[in-house]
A = this chain, B = another copy of it.
Amino acid sequence: MNRLKQLVYEANLDLVRHKLVLFTWGNASAMDRERGWVVIKPSGVSYNEMTPEQMVVVDLDGKIIDGNCKPSSDTATHLVLYRHFPEIGGVVHTHSTYAVAWAQARRAIPNIGTTHADYFRGPVPVSRDLTEAEINGEYELETGRVIIETLKLNGLTPDEMSGVLVAHHGPFTWGADPGDAAVNAAVLEETAKMAYLTLSLNPQAKNLDAFLLNKHFLRKHGNSAYYGQN
């Protein structure tokens, strides 16, 4: 459990290192699938005062298993993603500038270049607006549900698309572990900026053809990947 707390602690610091969060914004978590435990950042604690010991352990229903702090206010969002997607081991939420801008503009980030295609198999989708009832009800749970709904509507698996923009709010990303989810959050911010600039230079820029998208995505993912040392 200490190892997982350490990993979650470091993934949270990655968000600072990649300039994806200010103050206490954002959070990273991990899940230990064997024990059914989720480790997550405590709520409202600043990144430079945070310690690995402060990471909170909860079960999939949100019951605190270990820890003296309140877990992140976004815990219910993380938990519904872990419950629904057995293939993921880490979740990250940030308020990174360009990804938030796309979320606030309620536009999907187009797959407009190979940097994007190396990580995301298509445009990064944006959710529908939450209803007033959803917002006034179990808001954080509904935020997770609308992420799942958005992937489904777009016919995407969490392996193909490791992030969604929640409308008016910002990005959630995931991966095999919390470090992987943090990498996806950083790449999402960079590709959000590249797409922003590209559309300024050429408002008619189009999504990549499927053969170029797949070439790049599959260079790095799946059985035929040939990028890296493995």
A residues within 8 Å of B by Cβ? 22-25, 42-45, 69-70, 73, 95, 97-98, 100-107, 112-115, 130, 132, 135-136, 139, 168-170, 183, 186-187, 190, 193-202, 205, 208-209, 211-212, 215, 219, 226-229
Contacts and interface: CB of A to CB of B under 8 A. Distances in A.
B227 A44 contact: yes
A23 B73 CA distance: 30
Contacts of A107: 201-202
Contacts of A73: 219, 226-227
A117 to B, nearest CB: 9
Assembly stoichiometry (copies): 4
B227 A130 contact: no
Contact of A42 (B105, B194, B199, B229): B229
10 contacts: A22-B190, A23-B187, A70-B229, A97-B190, A101-B200, A101-B201, A114-B170, A135-B211, A136-B215, A168-B208
Contacts of A136: 211, 215
